[in-house]
């Protein structure tokens, strides 16, 4: 069984990250976190899909990030590292 305490830890980190980017809407924040996680982890979850333009029959590629299979214990250290990055940037701006 997964640790139920992880829920509060993860949600607290997401809340702290959102407070660093208060102009973002919730799903913008989630999309940003997905993209950053994928880029930092060898394109984990990245999928290339194609959309067909019906009139000309041309396929256009586009990418999505699907983190459905990402385990929470892998997400937690990533979120903690993002919070640490924000703190470093904030400390640099305060000087």
List, for residues 19-36, the tens digit of each pLDDT value: 999 999 999 999 999 999
**Domain definitions of the chain by residue range:** 7-87
Kindly report the CA angle at 69 between 64 and 75, in degrees rounded to 5? 90
Distances (CA, A) of 68 to 34, 44, 56, 76: 10, 11, 34, 15
Q: How confident is the model at residue 91 (pLDDT cuts 50, 70, 90)?
A: confident
* Global pTM value: 0.85
């Amino acid at each position: 069984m997964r640790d139920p305490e992880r829920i509060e830890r993860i949600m607290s980190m997401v809340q702290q990250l959102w407070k660093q980017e208060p102009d973002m809407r919730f799903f913008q924040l989630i999309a940003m976190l997905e993209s950053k996680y994928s880029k930092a982890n060898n394109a984990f979850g990245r999928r290339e899909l194609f959309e067909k333009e019906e009139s000309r029959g041309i396929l256009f590629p586009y990418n999505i990030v699907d983190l459905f299979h990402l385990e929470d214990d892998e997400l937690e250290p990533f979120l903690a590292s993002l919070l640490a990055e924000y703190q470093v940037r904030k400390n640099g701006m305060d000087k």
